[in-house]
Structure 1
Amino acid sequence: MDGVVIRSAGEGPATWAMESLFERLASGEETGGTLGVSLITQPPGVATPLHVHTHEAEAFYLLDGTMTYQAGEVRHELSAGSFIYLPSGIPHAFRVTGAIPVRFLGLTVPGGLMALYDEVGAPARERRLPGRDATPAEEEIRRWNEVAPRYGLRVVGPPIPADSAIDSS
């Protein structure tokens, strides 16, 4: 069946990057560039800097855990069952909150962004958070700075502070 992608649990490539586990469900390459989907697990405290994607829209559907998500100037508290869609060009950032890891489906349209994590991270030897097996932060940041522009990703501000209040609307 040309173009059909089917994955059972634990199949497909997995990458450790950003202290996190990215499990590929469908890559842009597999979907003719139209869609990328990954199951992402991140530990409490992980935060992205405020950034913009210029090539794709992004959507998250949270399965477990909580996060503070900033889209534009507004911050939202997301929990299991929450969904967020971000058109390209919207500055955004998030911080994983609470005491348990967050798990979510990450979707990009068009596909292709997940290859960035493969470039900056390392193949996951197991389906778990990397812990001590993580790439050193300094090395990963250096790789991000080198490759992110090729993926249309621009950092435009700092991460959400750990003690930041939520002004959800």
Structure 2
Amino acid sequence: MLRRSLLSLPALALLPTRLYAAVDGTRRPLPRVGADQDRAGKERAIGLSETRYKVLTSDSGGDLFVLEQLNRRKGGPSRHLHHHEDELFFCLEGEYIVEVGEERSHLKPGDCVLGPRGIPHVWAFAGGPIGRMLISFAPAGKMEAFFGQRESRGIKPGQYASTKEDAALLHEFGMELVGPPIAPDTF
């Protein structure tokens, strides 16, 4: 089961060897995505984060979607849950707080925590000049489409879901808005 395999970081290292892009019915290894690059060559922002897609949903046949968040301001999204995707948080730089259910984890570079589907979770960049976190969704589900829809609906960088309209959008993509972000005074 893929969900259980994400708990093992060595398994994560092997995943890229299984990912192939389908082009004209053929499958071939994906190109390398370098540091500070987006897989599709786009500039993106989600909430307070500069965002780079590293593995697209189509790259893995829907099994995986991976993005890197770069944070320069403290904070993060509202508490939410996914009905269909597990979400892995892997800290690359800086410090993050991640709450999954009732458990609060303080992540430093090299630390990770899994947010299983169906369990409310929330995260926030909490310290350092900058923060970088790799976030993986398995299966990919509708996550890439959700972030694209946010952009097309005009949700600007610096904003996270917090309104009734935002809650409706999350619901449309198999998620629920269930609470506020982590309070800055708890960092």
Q: Structure 2 length normalisation: TM-score?
A: 0.72
Identity of aligned residues (%): 24
Contact kept? 2:78, 2:162, Cα under 8 Å: no
Shift of the 21–115 alpha-carbon distance from structure 1 to 2, 3 Å rule, reads: farther
Match of 2:178 among 143, 156, 159: 156
SS in 2 for 1:118: helix
> In structure 2, which of residues 47, 53, 72 is the aligned counterpart of residue 24 of structure 1?
53
**Structure 1 residues 146, 152: CA separation in 2 closer, same or farther (over 3 Å shift)?**
same
- Indicate yes or no: 2:117 matched with 1:88: yes
Quote the residue 2:127 is aligned against: 98
Q: 1:82 to 1:150 in 2, by over 3 A?
A: same
> Equivalents in 2 of 1:158, 1:11: separation in Å?
29
**Partner amino acid, structure 2, of 1:25:** K
Distance 1:150 1:99, change over 3 A: same
Moved over 4 A (4+): 136-143
SS of the aligned residue for 1:114 comes to: helix
Asked whether the equivalents of residues 77 and 160 of structure 2 are also in contact (C-alpha less than 8 Å), the reply is: no
**Aligned twin of 2:77:** 48
Map of 1:79-158 to 2, 5 A cutoff? 79-111=108-140, 112-121=142-151, 135=156, 144-158=166-180
The count of residues paired between Structure 1 and Structure 2 equals 154
Q: Distance in 1 between matches of 2:81 and 2:55?
A: 23
Residues 42 and 35 of structure 1: is their aligned pair in 2 closer, same or farther, counting only changes over 3 Å?
same
Tell me the CA shift for residue 95 of structure 1: 1.5
Alignment TM-score, normalising by the size of structure 1:
0.79
Q: CA RMSD in A?
A: 2.5
Residues 3 and 102 (structure 1), Cα distance of their counterparts in 2 relative to 1, 3 Å cut? same
SS of aligned partner of 1:47: coil
Distance between the aligned counterparts of 2:159 and 2:98, measured in 1? 25
CA 1:78–1:139 in 2, change beyond 3 Å: closer, same or farther?
closer
**5+ unaligned residues in a row in structure 2: which ranges?**
1-25
Mapped contact 1:54–1:89 kept (Cα < 8 A)? yes
Following TM superposition, by how much is the alpha carbon of 1:63 offset from its aligned partner in structure 2, in angstroms? 0.7
Partners of 2:82 and 2:70 lie apart in 1 by: 21
More helix by share: 2
Distance of aligned partners of 1:137 and 1:67 in 2 relative to their CA distance in 1, 3 Å threshold: closer
Tell me, in whole angstroms, the C-alpha distance in 1 between the residues paired with 2:29 and 2:166: 31
* Mapped partners of 1:115, 1:20: distance in 2: 18
Higher relative contact order (CA 8 A, sep 6+): 1
Q: Which moved more, 1:134-143 or 1:11-20?
A: 134-143
Q: Which residue of 1 aligns with 2:39?
A: 12
